[in-house]
Each structure stands twice: as C-alpha cells, then as structure tokens.
Chain A
Amino acid sequence: MSSCRKALLTLALMAVAGLVSAQGTSKYPGVGRNATPKEVAAWDIDVRPDFKGLPVGSGTVAKGQDVWEAKCAQCHGVFGESNEVFNPLIGGTTADDVKTGRVAKLMDPAGGRTTFMKVASLSTVWDYINRAMPWTAPKSLTTDEVYSVTAFLLNLAGIVPDNFTLSNKNMGEVQARMPNRNGMQTKHAMWPGDEFGGTKKADTANVACMKNCSTEPTVASFLPDFARDAHGNLMEQNRIVGPQRGADTSKPEGKASAPGAATSAPVVVAQAATDTKTGAKADGAGIDSKAALALATKNGCTVCHGVSNKIVGPAFSDVAKKHAGKADYLAGKIKSGGSGLWGPIPMPPQTLSDADAKTIAAWLASGAPK
C-alpha cells in the first residue's frame, strides 16, 4: 500500500516536473495562448493556387448573374467592363488564349490590361471575391454566391459555357482553361531568397565610370509645353525660401537670358527708410506716379510686384483695381504684410518709412497710373 502510494506520488511529481519543463521550453512564459479550432476556422479563409483552403460549395452562371447585377455591376459594369474608376475585369482574351494559356493581346504595346488577361490562378479570383467583395460589405457573400459570381465572370471571359456550374470539385479543370495560366514567371532576382529558384543575378550591371564615360547627354524625352501646368502651379508646391523657387507654371516660361529676374524671392528688403525728397503728398490729388514708382523700386516692392504683371505677388494694377480708394488700408497692408488674399505666398511686413508707405498706397489707391 505504502509502496503503491509512493509510486503515485512519484508519478505526480514527475507530472509536475514535466509541466515545468514544458513551460520552460518557452523563452517567454505567459505570452500567447492556443487558438481554438473555431477561431482558426473563422480567420483562416485564404485559398491557395493549389486550392488548399477552398470550402465545399457550388454556384451556377445564372445565379452568378443575379448576384452580379444586384451587388457588383454598380462598380464593375454589367459585363465586367467597369467604369472610369475601376479597371475592367473582362475583355482582351480569346478562345485561342484558353487553348494556349497565354494571352496574345499582352504583346500589344498599346493595349490595356484587364483582370482576366493577367490573372493566371483561378484561386486568386475566388479568394479575393470571398474576402473583399462587395466593397461596401466585404465577406457578406455566401460561399455558394462566391462560386456563382466566379462562374459568371468565367462565363463573361469565355472560359466556361452559359450552363456551367462551378464547384470545389471542378475548380482544377477550370484552372486548366485560364487564358493566361502560362503567362507568369518567377525567374528573376527580385525575390529575397531562393524559394522560387530564380536567379541571383540582377537585371542590370551598370559600372561606376567616373571620367569621359560613354553616354550621349542629349535629351530624348521631356514634358511638352502644353503639360506645363498639368500638375498645378509648381510655384505653390515649392518652398518660398532657399536657393530656388518653384516655377510659376500659371504663365509661359521665362526667357532664357534672365535667371533670377522673373522669380526673385519675396525677401524682406531691409533698406534704410529714408524720406523722399519729392515730398509727395498722400492726399490723392496730384499723384506723382513717377515718384511713387521710384519709391516702390527703391523699397524693393518691384522685386515681387510688376506694374501690370503678376510676379510673385499681384500686379500693382490688380491691387489698385481691388482696393481703389483705400489708401489707408493699403498703407497699413504694406507695413504689416499678409497672405491669403492673392494666394498662399505671404508678403513679409515691409520696413519702409510711414511717408513712403503712404505715398505708394496713395498711388495704388488712385489706380496706379503710369
């Protein structure tokens, strides 16, 4: 009896020891737990090209058409031709492609590419519809609906007949009819590792030549003039400080002879504010245009403002039009600077004398006459 009890105790101790050593095999005890079979079943939904993961089910072309028109056609078009947002799914494949497994139209340099021209693996189509469609309610299709929609697409692509029923049993047969099934290759050096048995040799082998290298520094391709403003005004996409500015693509390119002139910085011109000898009065009457413009030049205003043309800031004539008669406002604005009224590029506060500011403002308020 006692020996029996001793044996039991030993067994129990061994069990405890076993437990301890089992826990000891993890470097990080207490981290992670086993997933339940139900959790794995709910999450592990992927289907591989060899159809591992494909659930049992089936669906007809006819039923697929119903589902398609109810849930898919809004985005992809009734015939899979799609709209301006989504790429076409169907088109560009032929009966001959189904025989050869290579889509001939892929050799057409001008041709677009539809999904069925590209895809080699039927599993990809099934898996993506199942996991991601419809866009507004992913994973809401039943398994049979996924088979049905896949069957409908295969029918549109001329791969299966109108009366076809697609199921987990005949996916392999349909795979053997996919138009571009032989159109993929993995013989390249772009996968890190040798799992695909590709090559380690890169596509190109340039050498770092340093002097008198054999090249033809001639321009073979550039953006045509009409595309100058196709990506918005590049001036507004660049910094307004530093060694360069963005090109003002809202107007034709400047002449080749004058770098700097057309695109100078909106810098603060810290010139000593001196009173003008002309003693121009800011009373609106008897505006001395020449004197005002001379002041604007002296104070650096004309770096950014043309008399009648926009440079970095608006033309004086445009400012005059917008703020006619508002001499006090303009005088204040010259001193305080600002941004937003004429675009995002700010005008810095200007450090000229009050008298100069008033003279220039009065000239602007009176229409900036030449």
Chain B
Amino acid sequence: MVNGMVKAAKVFTMDEIMRLPSVSRFHFIECGANTAAEWGNVAVPTVQYTHGMISCSEFTGVPLITLLELAGADLKNGKFVLAEGGDGSSMTRTIPMSLILSGEVIVAYGQNGEMLRPENGYPLRLVVPGVQGVSWVKYLRRVEVGDKPYATKDEAIHYIDLQPDGTHRQYTNLQECKSVVTTPSGGQVLLDKGFYNITGLAWSGKGKIRAVDVSVDGGRNWRPARLETPVLSKALSRFNIDWVWDGKPAIIQSRATDDTGFVQPTYKQLRAVRGTRSIYHNNAIQSWLVQENGEIKNVQLS
C-alpha cells in the first residue's frame, strides 16, 4: 500500500509490481552496528567479528519512485517516507526522500537471480543503497509519504549515536567509506615467510571506491592496491596487493577513498569527533598485527 500525501492511496499486488519495469543492481548492505564492539578498544579477534555484518548482492525490483508516482505522491511537500514491514512488529523506518527521488531506492523482490528468501524479506524488501541495513525494511507492506520524520523505535531508542556531549544523533543513516583487509587478518596464522597476496574489501555509502591504499608498517608508508572490477556505486569492491613478509612484526592496514574524495579515517580522528560510545557507524581504519610467530592479532594504534 502507498498512502499519506498522495492523490489516491494505492494497493499494488505482487503480480502488478512484477509487471512494472524492473532494475537490477549490486549493492552492499551493512549493519549500522558493524564494528560497534571496537569503538573503545579491541574487543573481538577476527574480521568476521569486527566487520562481518555486511554482504553484497544483486537486487532486482521496481524503483520506489515509480510506485509513488503511480499514487500521485506530493513530492514537493512530502519530504519523508515511512516504510513499514509485515513482520510481527510491523517494523518501521524513515527513508530519505533524496535517495527515492534519485531512483536508487528499490522495492526489491529478487536477490542474486532468485526470489528473495524468507529470511531476507520475501516477498518484498526495501533496498536503500548506502544506508544502514535496518532501513532495508523486510516484508514491506506499506509506504507512507509525509512532511515530517517519524521517530520510529529504531530511530529514537536504537540506532541513535551517543556523542561526547551526551546528546544522541538521530537519523544517522549513511555508511561512510570503509575498508578492511580480510587476508591476512586477525586469528589467522601465516604458514611461513615469503610472498603473500594481501586482499580485502572496500565500500562507500556515498558512491564508488576511487582508491585503496595498504600499509604494512602501521600507517607510516602506503602503497596503492589493485582494485578489482567492476567498481560499482555503493557496492563492495575487492582489492589486492603484493607483499613479501620478512618474518618480522608487521601492522597491516587498508585505507579507502571514495569518489567524493572522502578518505577513511583513523581511530584517532573518528574518536576526536564522536568519542567512544557512539556504537554505530564505526568506519575507522583496521589494524592487524602480524607477529613473528606468524599469528595475527587484532590491534588498535594510538
């Protein structure tokens, strides 16, 4: 159902939605709390625990703007859209109108060439590229056009970012530019000295990855990594770089830059603004310490 500030509230069946012109796009979906445990100090051992709450898929569906236009939505005064799920709690989130107007927000029924799976929101879920996963409302049943934000539970009690001055930031949606080396990474053990391929993933909620640099000396010197293609907007991009390990301690880091020119921050820079209790949106540069015995540890610098 589409209702609210529209000429006529509309009901669309799945059959009808699947008749409309569809788009298929690759996007990452990342939990706003990915890397949350690490705001204050190292808390978990491996990349699965530090950065695991992310994936990248091809989604197929209809741009939400198509449905809004069919209902005659007031796109001038309607500045916010509420998305509501058909789960038990009828989960709700306020969706940014700018991403709807740009055609990026998709009402998706397909993922990776098959229908959405139940755990991923069958039959319909919202795809909100670049925005934290909680906004990708599953089992989508209703969208409402309004002139004010909705302060739903997950934007008034959870998914609010505590700042050093004791205020909370509300409606923090974007997943800013971020990257992580996945191999070699924490909890792994290198089998011997010699050649290794350092590999990892980079992404930005604001666009494409422009470059990824890798350091093996804790951030003093950096080398540009090879970006694997295709590099897509608001999607995971893999990077690789050669490395010969001399058997001495090394600290491996990756640092991504997106096509807005934004460079992934250090922990020091991020904490200087947001403190350590923000929980959400930790996109700091990750450090992995390679020890002489080959075992790799999750560490933080400064």
Contact = CB atoms under 8 A, between A and B. Distances in A.
Contacts of B191: 243-245, 259-260, 263-265
A34 interface: yes
Contacts of B270: 203-204
Contacts of A219: 251, 289, 299-301
Contacts, number: 327
A293 to B, nearest CB: 24
Interface string A204-224: 111111111101111111110
Contact of B11 (A32, A212, A265): A32
A56 interface: no
Given A44-B3, A231-B44, A253-B293, A210 B221 contact: yes
B170 A186 contact: yes
Contacts of B273: 203-204
Nearest to B292: A256
Given A46-B82, A118-B157, A243 B197 contact: yes
Given A124-B156, A132-B153, A219-B299, A206 B213 contact: no
Interface in B36-84: 41-46, 48-49, 66-67, 70-71, 79-80, 82, 84
Contacts of A213: 219-222
Contacts of B277: 109
A185 B153 contact: no
Nearest to B163: A185
Most central of B4, B144, B223, B272 by chain A CB within 10 Å: B144
Interface in B221-270: 221-223, 247, 251, 255, 257, 262-266, 269-270
Interface stretch (A67-75, A149-157, A190-198): A190-198
A183 B166 contact: yes
A359 interface: no
Secondary structure call for the A interface: loop
A46 B92 contact: yes
Nearest to A138: B88
A219 B151 CA distance: 40
B102 to A, nearest CB: 9
Contact of B265 (A139, A204, A217, A243): A204
Contacts of B11: 32-35, 39
A106 B165 CA distance: 9
A215 B190 contact: no
Contacts of A330: none
A341 interface: no
A192 B174 contact: yes
Contacts of B125: none
Contact of A188 (B131, B172, B193, B272): B172
A222 B297 contact: yes
Interface residues of A, number: 100
Given A192-B174, A193-B99, A203-B273, A223 B219 contact: no
Contacts of B255: 206, 208
B189 A245 contact: yes
A104 B42 CA distance: 28
Nearest to B197: A243
A2 interface: no
A45 interface: yes
Contact of B148 (A50, A202, A210): A50
B274 interface: yes
Most central of B167, B273, B291 by chain A CB within 10 Å: B167
Interface in B115-133: 130-131
Contacts of A26: 70
B9 interface: yes
Given A190-B174, A257-B292, A206 B187 contact: no
Contacts of B176: 190, 202
A121 interface: yes
A106 to B, nearest CB: 4
A4 B19 CA distance: 45
Contacts of B293: 253-259, 262
B153 A206 contact: no
A249 to B, nearest CB: 8
A113 to B, nearest CB: 7
A329 interface: no
Given A202-B262, A244-B191, A237 B46 contact: yes
A238 B296 CA distance: 13
Interface string B1-36: 101100011111000100110000000000000000
A234 B10 contact: no
A285 interface: no
Lowest 8 CB-CB distances: which A-B pairs, in order? A217-B218, A193-B98, A259-B294, A132-B89, A204-B265, A190-B172, A234-B187, A35-B9
15 contacts: A44-B142, A52-B148, A186-B169, A190-B173, A190-B174, A194-B98, A195-B98, A208-B211, A213-B222, A216-B302, A222-B289, A237-B48, A242-B183, A249-B187, A259-B190
Interface of B: 1, 3-4, 8-12, 16, 19-20, 41-46, 48-49, 66-67, 70-71, 79-80, 82, 84, 88-92, 96-99, 130-131, 141-142, 144, 146, 148-153, 156-157, 160-163, 166-174, 176, 183-184, 187-193, 196-197, 205-206, 211, 213, 217-223, 247, 251, 255, 257, 262-266, 269-270, 272-274, 277, 281, 289, 291-302
Given A244-B184, A255-B293, 10 more contacts: A48-B150, A48-B151, A132-B88, A188-B172, A190-B281, A192-B174, A195-B97, A215-B219, A217-B217, A222-B42
